[in-house]
Structure 1
Amino acid sequence: MNGIKQIFKKELDRVFKDKKMIFSVFLLPVLIMVVIMSIVGNLASNMEDDIENHTSIVYIQNEPESFAEFQRQATAKYSLKFIESAEDRKKAENDILNGKADLIIEFPESFDAQVADYEEGDTIPQIKTYYNPSEDYSNSAFRNISGTTLEEYRQMLLAQRMGNLEQIVVFEVNSDNDNMIIQDDKKASGKAVGMMLPYFITILLFAGAMGIGSDMIAGEKERGTMASLLVSPIKRSSIVLGKVFSLMAISGLSSLVYVIVMVVCMPLMMKSMAPGSGSDLNLQLSVSQIVMLGALLVAIAFLYSTIIALLSVFAKSTKEANTYIMPVYMLVLIIGLITMFTTGEANNINFFIPIYNNALAFQGILSQDITVMQYVVTLIETLALGGILTAIVVKAFETEKVMAK
């Protein structure tokens, strides 16, 4: 036990007594994260404002008098251009294609006459719109004009034909229903945060342990200090446990800092993904949720530390160790991405899949959708797998052929 403490203290001192190491492990990632979130949020907000303030350039072909009158009374204003010939139409299509114009509205010839003289059985006149979905301005113009302006125009023409539109309105949907949303705001906020947080937790935990862990073992072998450590009176199992526990503490603490910053900045992150969605986030964790998250965080830090230690022990240098670790890191990235795009309730079988179950458990805790069985299985399996890998690392330390590399 005393040997474990000595190694544990040695590794912690190596990190916490080095100001550059503290900055690179705990502060730099947080600063980078906050800066990136701020930049992305501001860029998204600026893009949304730019699209909203843009005056759409709209080409109109065969404009009827009724639409011209409607446009004069409408509140929405567009920069209108008119298609009078085949050459104008070709130019309009080229402008749409090149992003110089946003929308073409094509009315059938004699549109007003077709509407006024319509009788049952006649062909219903069709207004056609053309746009470029790859252009933000064009896409916005299509949604606003096709979904709003032309619908208002339709209602105006219906009113002229029918008189009182209330006679043909069979029912309305949610016209005065201010209480149509039934949800638990805390659960909804937890679910929104749970979409992204598990991905970042798994990445940051592994990344934090990877940078330090490869140097703890492979780095010492490369520098030649591992040989002197192995001939010391400290048991090799104590050396392994001291290094694994210190790595677990450092990576767990760093990930805790990252998670706190991420939760604080989550409204900004959600706003950057879907403008306006982050302002309603109100994440409040109960004591049980905090305890569950804390225990799971410790278990994951233990598992990742043992994985990195195991891969590092077979490497001759830090560079070689990072080469071994990188495929596992990519696997963690992919698993994190999978959990971001899953829908519905997770199957109980999924909670038996290592690493993947950790991300699912984080999601379940935050959204309050995890069962006791699912959590216990995830926690026990993670700790057990970490224990098995630790035993393998101990065995590797006791093998001279491996440590002599």
Structure 2
Amino acid sequence: MWLIFKKEFMELVRDRKTLIFMIALPVLVFPLLIGGTIFFTSNALEDAENKVLKYAVIGNANVADINSALSEDGSMLERVTLTAEQDYVAMIQADELDFVLEVPTPFNSEVLESGQLAINLYFNDAGLNKVYQRVSAILTPLSEEYQLQAFRALGLSESQQQAIVTPMLINRENVADNREVWGERIGAMLPYFLFFLCLQGAMAPASDMGAGEKERGTLETLLISPMPRYKLVLGKFFAISLSGVIAALVTVSSMALWTVIISQGLAVGFIVELLSSIGVLDFVLVFLMLVPVVAVFASLLLSLSIYARSFKEAQSYMGGLVMVMIFPIILAMMPGIELKGVWVWVPLTNVALAMKELVKGTMDYVALLGIFGSTALIAGILLAFSVHWFNREKVLFR
């Protein structure tokens, strides 16, 4: 068994493609995904914030207060005069205009006399833009000034004004600390990256040890050796599992390292605070929980690989396995599903829930017994199925 393990692992180490999935992919993918997302999102938001907006005012277009408010931000706004024949809705859809303000006629700033003033803002909100936010930022101070004028006309004190604007004030007192708040948001995505990269780390060697052996014609040589079939399976299983465990270890280390680097470079203090609040034990438990998960993946991948007629067919089967892996992670993200009761025993979903609880700092460590037990049981059943598969000539020589 250990000779098979040594042989298979040495072949993995010599294979450049396997090293990419085991080491390069976990180290590079995480920073590229996070850093790329932050970079492009920041650039898009900055472009939307600094874009010179073309606009027009229709209806009562000569309201001095509105024109004055818009002209104060004149360097970022460009006014266009429309004729009666021009279709401003079509112009907005064609990107010839960014927004149009329709001002009511008549327009009376004495809101106690005129009532509420309704100004219609036409813009295209299908893409990433900040038209509504920027126009609101310009007109909101004007609306507040009209409000103060009405309060002064009514002779209301400041406390009476506040009571009218907000008759009942609800003060939010969140008893959860920052780690729990941000852990709930970030921790739910952690299993997605970890499971995916561990699966990718085990997929390449699994394809080669089953379907690859068939294509090269070396499987028959192994089968005629005096070694029992189950030892042959265990040797391949441990090699695939080690590949996935290395990918898991590199992934966890890479995520911790690059998150600190990215957050410090972008001055995202809450991420540094969150990581500093997570203890070493929690990081170790995250890694240890990935070990039985990798065993599940390794057993299942080995069975699919030995069933496939060719390397290409094995890759197609394993591609579908990614969709199966996503389902338990989605379950863990659904509201109302917590690491309690029956969910402690649901394989993969319980690990995803536990990772979120570890990041939040609310982990019930007693539940680890059920998590490790159920996941190890599934891995053992799948491994036994792989041994059964290897004992069937119809499967080996399809």
Q: Secondary structure at the match of 1:153?
A: helix
Closer/same/farther in 2, CA of residues 158 and 323 from structure 1, 3 Å limit: closer
**1:257 aligned residue (241, 247, 250):** 250
1:373 shift after superposition? 4.8
1:50 shift after superposition? 0.9
Query: What root-mean-square deviation, in Å, do the aligned CA atoms of Structure 1 and Structure 2 show?
Result: 3.2
The aligned residue for residue 270 of structure 2 is 280
Aligned 8 A contact 1:59 1:81 in 2: yes
Letter in 2 for 1:144: R
The aligned residue for residue 66 of structure 1 is 65
TM-score norm. by structure 1 comes to 0.83
Asked if 1:116 is matched to 2:110, the reply is: yes
Aligned 8 A contact 2:112 2:150 in 1: no
The aligned residue for residue 238 of structure 1 is 231
Stretch deviating more after TM superposition (200-209 or 123-132)? 123-132
Asked if 1:213 is matched to 2:206, the reply is: yes
**1:125 aligned residue (117, 136, 139):** 117
Aligned 8 A contact 1:203 1:336 in 2: no
Letter in 2 for 1:107: V
Q: Secondary structure at the match of 1:58?
A: strand
Q: Secondary structure at the match of 1:212?
A: helix
The aligned residue for residue 77 of structure 2 is 79
- How many residues align? The count is 384
Aligned 8 A contact 2:26 2:254 in 1: no
Q: Secondary structure at the match of 2:79?
A: strand
1:197 shift after superposition? 1.4
Task: Flag structure 2 segments of 5+ consecutive residues without an equivalent.
Answer: none
Task: Flag structure 1 segments of 5+ consecutive residues without an equivalent.
Answer: none
Q: Secondary structure at the match of 1:104?
A: strand
The aligned residue for residue 145 of structure 1 is 135
Q: CA separation in 1, counterparts of 2:192 and 2:254? A: 15
The aligned residue for residue 368 of structure 1 is 361
Closer/same/farther in 2, CA of residues 109 and 396 from structure 1, 3 Å limit: closer
Matches within 5 A, 1:23-172: 23-28=20-25, 30-61=27-58, 62-63=60-61, 64-71=63-70, 74=72, 78-81=76-79, 85-88=83-86, 90=87, 92-112=88-108, 115-116=109-110, 118-119=112-113, 123-137=115-129, 140-146=130-136, 148-163=137-152, 166=158, 167-170=160-163
1:52 shift after superposition? 1.4
Q: CA separation in 2, counterparts of 1:71 and 1:128? A: 15
Stretch deviating more after TM superposition (205-214 or 22-31)? 22-31
Stretch deviating more after TM superposition (178-187 or 28-37)? 178-187
Closer/same/farther in 2, CA of residues 325 and 84 from structure 1, 3 Å limit: closer
Q: CA separation in 2, counterparts of 1:268 and 1:187? A: 22
Asked if 1:382 is matched to 2:375, the reply is: yes
Q: Secondary structure at the match of 1:105?
A: strand
1:336 shift after superposition? 3.4
Identity fraction in percent: 26
1:345 shift after superposition? 4.5
1:31 shift after superposition? 2.9
Closer/same/farther in 2, CA of residues 133 and 257 from structure 1, 3 Å limit: same
Letter in 2 for 1:362: M
Q: CA separation in 1, counterparts of 2:5 and 2:165? A: 69
Matches within 5 A, 1:172-187: 183-187=176-180
Aligned 8 A contact 2:187 2:359 in 1: yes
Closer/same/farther in 2, CA of residues 351 and 136 from structure 1, 3 Å limit: same
Aligned 8 A contact 1:248 1:302 in 2: yes
1:269 shift after superposition? 8.5
Q: CA separation in 1, counterparts of 2:208 and 2:287? A: 26
Q: CA separation in 2, counterparts of 1:317 and 1:135? A: 45
Cα offsets for 1:224-277 (capped at 9, x unmatched): 222221222322211111111111111111122123223333479899xxxx89
The aligned residue for residue 16 of structure 1 is 13
Q: CA separation in 2, counterparts of 1:116 and 1:396? A: 84
Q: CA separation in 1, counterparts of 2:115 and 2:291? A: 70
1:185 shift after superposition? 2.7
**1:5 aligned residue (2, 9, 26):** 2
Asked if 1:355 is matched to 2:354, the reply is: no
